[in-house]
Structures are given as C-alpha cells and as structure tokens.
Amino acid sequence: MGRIEAAAANESEKGAYHHGDLRAALLDAALALLAEGQEPSLRAVARRAGVSPMAPYRHYADRESLLAAVAVRGVEGLKAALEAADAGAEPGHRLVAQAVAYVRYAVEHPVLFRLTFGPARPVGEVCEASQQVRAVLLERLAAEAPERFSPEFAVGCWAVIHGLAMLVLDGLLQETDPDPLNGLVQKAVEAMVGCRRAGA
C-alpha cells in the first residue's frame, strides 16, 4: 500500500526494479500507442513502459484484459466528450451537439474507438460503461423530444449516432460528403430525430 503510493510519486528516479505503478503506466503506454494510430501489442506496451515483455502479466491476465481496461478508458472519454458538448450547446440543440461530438470523438480516436466497440470487448465493465454513454444520450433525448420518446425510439437514436460514427470511420459517407462532420452528421440526426409534423 504505502509502498505503491510512495513509489508512484517519484517517476524517473529510484533506479527501481519495482516500477511503482506499472498497472497505470501500462494503461497510459497503451493509450499513447493508440493515439499514435497503432494497435498496441503487449510487447510494444511493455517496451514503452520500459519493462520486460512478461511484466504486464503481473497486472493483466492477458492481452485481452489490458485492452478491456483501455476500452473502459475509451468509453469514459466518449462520455466526457458528450457531456462537454451538451454543456456547451444552446438549449434545444444539445442532442445534436452530443451526436456531433460522438462522431467527432470516433474520428479523432479511430483506433481507440474501434477497439472500444470491438469483437469480444463489450463484456463486464466495458458494457456497463457503455450504458452510461447511452444514459447521457437518453437524458437529453427525453428532454428535447418528449413527444416521440419511447424505449424503441431511444435505441433507434443511439443507433443513428453510433451508426454515423461507424460509417464515417469507415469512409462510407465520403461519396455523399467528403467531410461529414461539417454538416452532414448534424443534418442526418435532425432529419431522423426532429420529425416535422405533416401540417406545419
């Protein structure tokens, strides 16, 4: 206990066979590699943390476990981005602001985003964290479109936004608009959510 905190305080010195807080250091290393656009291999993560290839196994069961922890960070970052966008937008335009932020987050952290919603990833903690993202969206949705609100409508809205993120990430909307974040995403969400009544 006391050891860890003490050792975690000073980073570079201490010579140190014992790293201090390798667990966090590995996570940061993985995120750094992700930010550079490369899929983090266990060995590369260990290398970047300045530690032997087998060291990570003292803190994570296997590569998958490390990536799961990274995925949780990814979801948390996404949630934070949504909340920031919501707070920064004008009333009545907050859902759309969240949607744009969602897609922007995906575009700005492509590898992390794909890893977050990857193959075997959404288990346990990642899945729970995802539900928090969903909750942030839902709250605003209920406030801005109460007349259309229903559980299915909520799922549909999440799907529109998530789907837009994936399609943009895959470059599948480039024919429609080379820079989808510059208007297309906003308009698409408005077209789906903000349904105009027939008479007006």
Partner DNA sequence: TGCGCCATGTATGCACCGTAAACATTCAGA
Partner DNA sequence: TCTGAATGTTTACGGTGCATACATGGCGCA
Where does this chain bind DNA (CB under 7 A)? 1-4, 6, 15-20, 22, 41-44, 51-55, 57-59, 62-64
CB of 61 to its own copies, least distance (A): 20
Instruction: Give the whole-angstrom CA distance, residue 68 versus residue 29.
Output: 14
Binds 130: which of DNA, its own copies, none (CB < 5-8 Å by kind): its own copies
Binding of residue 112 to its own copies (CB under 8 A): no
Pick from 171, 178, 179, 182 the residue near its own copies by CB under 8 A: 171
Q: What six digits make up the tokens of 32? A: 């750094």
Binding of residue 6 to its own copies (CB under 8 A): no
Q: Which amino acid is at 105?
A: Y
Binding of residue 127 to its own copies (CB under 8 A): yes
Binding of residue 159 to its own copies (CB under 8 A): yes
Q: Is the dihedral of CA 64, 70, 76, 77 positive or negative?
A: negative
Contact at 8 Å (CB) between 185 and 165? no
Nearest CA among 184, 38, 41, 189 for reference residue 114: 38
Read off the DSSP letter of residue 39: P
CB of 129 to DNA, least distance (A): 22
Contact at 8 Å (CB) between 138 and 144? no
Residues lying near its own copies in the complex (CB under 8 A): 111, 114, 117, 119, 121-123, 127, 130-131, 134, 147-148, 150-153, 155-164, 166-167, 170-176, 184, 187-192, 195, 197-200
